[in-house]
């Protein structure tokens, strides 16, 4: 199955750029996710690739073939929507063999395909059920089966798990990935749920306001966010504001109230206003005020048990607030009001220039 390539793709609705000059390559057989807040253009990009809408400008290629002028049915693409888009008056079987029938396959061939895809989604024993008799998870599996039976080589999934409850979501998302991988399909999965994207994707493109902010493997995005937006949208980050006061041997950042910390500098000038982003789970936290070692001093203001982690809200000496997550089983919890000393690995903290529009605007979704 071929790569999918979009080049300088733009789609406007009135004055709104739903998609603003986006270029992206999705590799052959890749499970790729488009991740971003509501209204960032995910569905628009998917519908352009499927041929359900036309771009204002730009090109779309499937393999070497330019397809942006081709009708949807010539693109070998299967589309699975958030809302269950099965034909309600047809059984699971009727839905699945709809595609082969439209293609005028003979009965035997259509039956073979139908059973094959129902086997794949493990629903052969429910082939006589109507959509209303199936669970949400089952309906989505039938929707995938229907796309496969219709000969899809590329699977486009728009929030396919959005209507399912959390437990079912978790199961189905791995199943859909497994099927796509078994069948060597190229898949594009749209979601606004970062945990979902992180757990099933080979690569992810993070979108904001019609543009792709960063794309990469889940690890790359998490370990090396290229912007405050990605550091905020993927995982969680503490943002500490300050100025660069020293760039010689080490870069030194002066936070509020003259509190000085070290950082690795990607090349930002001295005296520049910056934000230091620190992941809550990378920090080490000890009880009491350190006497010898360096560290940020603070006081615990809130403790929340979240199952696998305990979440501490800490007020630093300079008034800044930090969140630190610690494994809940590993230690005795620290209590509200206790003083702590915090150390973070500087190689895992990221320094960004303070955004012109302000931090709140920059990371708003």
Q: Which residues in this chain contact ligand ATP in the complex, by CB under 6 A?
A: 13, 16, 18, 36, 38-44, 192
Rank residues 40 and 134 by Cβ distance to Mg ion and give the closer one. Answer: 40
Query: Quick check: 325 binds Mg ion (CB under 5 A)?
Result: no
- CB of residue 13 vs ligand ATP: minimum separation in angstroms? 3
Query: Closest-CB residue for Mg ion?
Result: 43
Residues in a beta bridge with 261: 253
Query: Quick check: 191 binds Mg ion (CB under 5 A)?
Result: no
Rank residues 83 and 217 by Cβ distance to ligand ATP and give the closer one. Answer: 83
Rank residues 18 and 323 by Cβ distance to Mg ion and give the closer one. Answer: 18
Residue 50's closest CA among 77, 24, 74?
77
Rank residues 198 and 268 by Cβ distance to ligand ATP and give the closer one. Answer: 198
- CB of residue 269 vs Mg ion: minimum separation in angstroms? 40
Which listed option, ligand ATP, Mg ion, none, makes contact with residue 242 (CB within 5 to 8 Å by class)?
A: none
Rank residues 44 and 238 by Cβ distance to ligand ATP and give the closer one. Answer: 44
Query: Quick check: 91 binds Mg ion (CB under 5 A)?
Result: no
- CB of residue 200 vs ligand ATP: minimum separation in angstroms? 17
- CB of residue 229 vs ligand ATP: minimum separation in angstroms? 15
Looking at residues 238 to 297 of the shown chain, list those that interact with Mg ion (rule: CB under 5 A): none
The C-alpha R_g of the chain, in whole angstroms, comes to: 25
- CB of residue 176 vs ligand ATP: minimum separation in angstroms? 18
User: Helix crossing, 136-149 with 166-182: angle to 10°?
Assistant: 20
Residues in a beta bridge with 4: 26, 62
243-249 long-range contacts, CB within 8 A, separation 24+: 243/271, 243/272, 243/273, 243/274, 244/268, 244/269, 244/270, 244/271, 244/272, 244/274, 245/270, 245/271, 246/270
Query: Quick check: 43 binds Mg ion (CB under 5 A)?
Result: yes
Query: Quick check: 44 binds Mg ion (CB under 5 A)?
Result: no
| Site residues (vs Mg ion, CB under 5 A) | 43
């Amino acid at each position: 199955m071929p790569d999918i390539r979009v080049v300088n793709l733009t789609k406007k609705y009135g004055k709104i750029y739903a998609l603003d000059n986006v270029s992206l390559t999705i590799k052959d057989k890749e499970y790729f996710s488009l991740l971003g807040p509501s209204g960032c253009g995910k569905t628009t990009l998917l519908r352009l690739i499927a041929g359900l809408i036309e771009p204002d400008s730009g090109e779309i290629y499937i393999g070497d073939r330019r397809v942006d002028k081709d009708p949807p049915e010539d693109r070998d693409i299967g589309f699975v929507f958030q809302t269950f888009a099965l034909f309600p008056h047809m059984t699971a079987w009727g839905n699945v063999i709809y595609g082969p029938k439209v293609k005028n396959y003979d009965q035997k061939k259509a039956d073979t395909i139908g059973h094959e895809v129902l086997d794949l989604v493990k629903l052969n024993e429910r082939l006589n059920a109507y959509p209303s008799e199936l669970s949400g998870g089952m309906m989505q599996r039938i929707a995938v089966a229907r796309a496969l039976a219709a000969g899809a080589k590329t699977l486009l999934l728009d929030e396919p798990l959005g209507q399912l409850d959390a437990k079912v979501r978790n199961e189905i998302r791995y199943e859909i990935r497994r099927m796509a991988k078994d069948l060597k399909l190229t898949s594009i999965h749209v979601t606004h749920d970062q945990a979902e994207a992180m757990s099933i994707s080979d690569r992810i493109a993070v979108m904001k306001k019609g543009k792709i902010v960063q794309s990469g493997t889940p690890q790359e995005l998490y370990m090396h966010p290229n912007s405050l937006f990605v550091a905020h949208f993927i995982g969680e980050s503490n943002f500490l504001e300050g100025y660069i006061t020293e760039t010689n041997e080490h870069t030194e950042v002066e936070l509020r109230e003259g509190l000085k910390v070290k950082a690795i500098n990607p090349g930002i000038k001295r005296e520049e206003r910056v934000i230091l982003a620190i992941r809550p789970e990378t920090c080490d936290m000890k009880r009491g005020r350190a006497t010898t070692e360096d560290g940020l001093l603070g006081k615990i203001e809130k403790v929340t048990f979240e199952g696998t982690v305990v979440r501490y809200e800490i007020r630093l000496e300079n008034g800044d607030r930090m969140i630190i997550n610690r494994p809940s089983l590993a230690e005795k919890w620290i209590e509200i009001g206790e003083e702590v000393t915090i150390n973070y690995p500087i190689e895992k903290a990221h320094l960004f220039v303070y955004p012109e529009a302000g931090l709140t605007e920059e990371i708003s979704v």
